[in-house]
Amino acid sequence: MQFTKKITLAVLAIGMAFSLQAQVAVKAGVNFSNMLFEEDDNSIEDLAKNGATKFTAGVAFILPFSDVVALQPELLYTQKGAKSTYTIAGGEFTNDLTYNYLDIPLLLRISLGDTHGEGLGIYLNGGGYVGYAFNGKSKSTSPLGEVESDISFDDNDDQRRIDFGAAVGGGLTLGNLFFDLRYNHGINNILDDDANNNNDNGFKKLQHRGLALTAGIIF
């Protein structure tokens, strides 16, 4: 939790330091999430048959260097995960993973047209993010019923709380309203060194992917 507090305080400090000239944007939307797996003896392949629709919301600080270029740190609640569906012996089996993250992107924003609260404009942004997982759940459904369990992040378990990666996207502004599309590419392996539980056929790498579509208002 100390890690989360330090990052949260850093972002809030940036926002307050530029409060006289910064714009604040509040947004919410959906994250079309998926996960990428890598096995010992295979190249990376996507084993999640279907992406999962999750939720994301938060606040962004737009800190302009000029009319065109701005720095954009954000503080987001983001759900990540994947949903796999299989058919075995005529029965359908699904596994739905949901991770609840505090994500902190730091983006460079390029404005084309008016994107600062008046008129019509578009913008592009890109950079990186770091995320901290508060908790997670796994829900399995079969012809026999539904089973739900917590994903543990204890030191002796097989999940890492920290996620980080690259983010790129853009959006459209209509006055104070905006619509944003962003692709997030997880780089960190959220499985630790013992994630395969000494099973040589287990997964060695697990990474997040996501396409977030959000809408919001700029103050």
Among candidate residues 99, 160, 165, the one with its CA nearest the CA of residue 130:
165
State CA 68 to chain mean position distance: 26
CATH of residue 179's domain is 2.40.160
Q: Is-above-0.85 flag for pTM?
A: no
Residue 41 DSSP label: T
Task: Identify the pLDDT of residue 188.
Answer: 92
Tens digit of pLDDT for each residue in 9-42? 665 655 554 555 788 999 999 999 998 876 544 4
Return the SS3 of 165.
strand
d(CA 124, CA 38): 31
d(CA 19, CA 14): 8
Among candidate residues 69, 61, 78, 51, the one with its CA nearest the CA of residue 22:
61
State CA 57 to chain mean position distance: 10
Tell me if 112 sits within 8 A of 121, measured CB to CB.
Answer: yes
Instruction: Report which residue type is found at 48.
Output: A
Q: Residue 111's domain spans which residues? A: 2-218
Number of domains in the chain: 1
Tens digit of pLDDT for each residue in 128-169? 999 999 999 999 888 788 889 898 886 555 688 999 999 999
